[in-house]
Amino acid sequence: MPAPPPVGLCESCRHQRVVATSRGSSYSLCELSREDDRYPRYPRLPVLRCGGHRPRELQT
């Protein structure tokens, strides 16, 4: 099975949530889109620039 394509900034963003379908596909959902319509719900990947990017907090 091939590796998934890179998602750019979304991979390290606290606003990203991966949504899996029953058919085995997965999508990168930008939860910031719920509050601000300047951000697409499902951005085209890879995202290389984003004004809403906020790094995830490290899990300890």
Give residue limits of the domains in the chain: 1-50
**For residue 18, what pLDDT is reported?**
94
**For residue 57, what pLDDT is reported?**
86
**For residue 60, what pLDDT is reported?**
64
**For residue 4, what pLDDT is reported?**
63
- The pTM (predicted TM-score) of the whole model is 0.79
**For residue 58, what pLDDT is reported?**
74
pLDDT mean by block of 10 residues, the chain; 60 residues: 75 95 94 97 95 87
CA-nearest of 48, 53, 37 to 7 is: 48
Joined tokens for residue 17: 């949530």
